[in-house]
Amino acid sequence: MTNIIVAGAVGLILSMLGTPLAIRLFSRRGYGQEVREELQQGGHHSKRGTPTMGGTVIVLAALLAYGASHLAMLSTPTVSGMLVLFLMTGLGAVGFLDDFIKIYKQRSLGLRSGAKALGQLVVGAVFAFLVVRHPNVYGITPAETRVSFLRDIGPSIGIVGFTIWVLIMIVGFSNAVNLTDGLDGLASGATGVVLGAYVLIGNWQLRNNCIDQLGPNCYWVRDPLDLAVVAAAVLGALIGFLWWNAPPARIFMGDTGSLALGGVLAGLAIATRTQLLLIILAGLCVIITLSVIIQVGSFKMTGKRVFRMAPLQHHFELKGWAETTIVVRFWLIAMLCAALGLGLFYVEWMPR
């Protein structure tokens, strides 16, 4: 438990103090945000030039916080924790390249969609290859080649099927968080509540681990404590960043942050054996992604748009809702989704 507290506290302090430094550095170098033309009329013109790539602060603060927690407790990092952090950092690097191209070419679009997807797939494939290897002394690997909901369910889908499934999760959720970004503090708050849920899930799995307490409702998860430490480190870094990212934002996370955060959520879901539960926990991101799918599908099939603009948050902007109203109400939806997911997780564990 001390590891979790140290990771969260260090991540918070580093991010809180490091973000102003990043704001000054990025401002001097002209690393400012470009805004989509159709959003200019919605008041987003004032955001043009706001420093972006703030996700670098989140990633670095989380990595340092994770290392500091193990150093403070004189413990060894686990394979599960390191793999999730690798996934976060790798996708963050893809996002960083995307952000840098936007800044360098002074446009709102960075990497071409194919190149961006390729980067996500390469990082995801390495993660999928490694996550079913490296068994501990009890023969438990960070993940099994099975689909999971509240724990592993059904038979093995094989290494090929599992790899495809993992890639769908990684690309899907990294893009979902990316789509959720766009309003000051929206993605930070929405992913923060999911990370908080995974701190609780990892701690609960530790207390009911089959290695220490064999029973019908125990969990065969390799490194639940360290996964909770990872979630706490990223959460602390995210809260420190949100202090400066809250409306009106002084810095944006950019694709560097959104892809990294989506990756860490997918990695935590895979390693804690709660893959399908993430759809509920991160329900707001799923809803926003569905709004884009519906909008594109409707326009291609009928030539008509369902929403004034997608993703969904921009639809409400064009309806005249204040940005802070949208952000707070969407945060409330995110909290309700996380609470529902945690409720299901706990009810399934309860002895019958």
pLDDT at 42: 52
Q: Cis ω on the peptide bond leading into residue 216 (within 30° of 0)?
A: no
Instruction: Answer for the pair 311, 180: CB distance below 8 angstroms, yes or no.
Output: yes
Q: Which domain holds residue 218?
A: 1-142+160-274
Rounded CA-CA distance 79/133 in Å is: 10
Residue listed under structure tokens 């926003």: 288
pLDDT at 67: 97
- Closest listed residue to residue 274, CA positions, set 348, 336, 183: 348
Tokens of 348: 């399934």
Within-domain flag for 340: no
Within-domain flag for 96: yes
Within-domain flag for 224: yes
Instruction: Answer for the pair 136, 222: CB distance below 8 angstroms, yes or no.
Output: yes
Within-domain flag for 68: yes
Instruction: Answer for the pair 93, 174: CB distance below 8 angstroms, yes or no.
Output: no
Within-domain flag for 330: no
Question: Is 209 among the annotated ligand-binding positions?
Answer: no
Within-domain flag for 317: no
Rounded CA-CA distance 159/72 in Å is: 37
Question: Is 255 among the annotated ligand-binding positions?
Answer: yes
- Closest listed residue to residue 16, CA positions, set 243, 184, 231, 193: 243
Other CB atoms closer than 10 Å to residue 290's CB: what's the count?
15
pLDDT, one tens digit for every residue, the chain (352 residues): 799 999 999 999 999 999 999 999 888 877 665 555 554 455 555 566 688 889 999 999 999 999 999 999 999 999 999 999 999 999 999 999 998 888 877 665 667 888 999 999 999 999 999 999 999 999 999 999 999 999 999 899 999 999 999 999 999 999 999 999 989 999 999 999 999 999 999 999 999 999 887 777 899 999 999 999 999 999 999 999 999 998 888 999 999 999 999 999 999 999 999 999 999 999 999 999 999 999 999 999 998 999 999 999 999 999 999 999 999 999 999 999 999 999 999 999 887 6
pLDDT at 106: 65
Instruction: Answer for the pair 35, 252: CB distance below 8 angstroms, yes or no.
Output: no
Q: Rounded to two decimals, what is the model's pTM? A: 0.93
Within-domain flag for 331: no
Region of 325 (left: φ > 0; alpha: ψ -120 to 50; beta: rest) is: alpha
Instruction: Answer for the pair 300, 310: CB distance below 8 angstroms, yes or no.
Output: no
Q: Give residue 246's identity as a one-letter amino acid code.
A: A
Number of structural domains (the chain) is: 1
Within-domain flag for 335: no
pLDDT digits (tens, 9 = 90+) for 156-202: 999 999 999 999 999 999 999 999 998 999 999 999 999 999 999 99
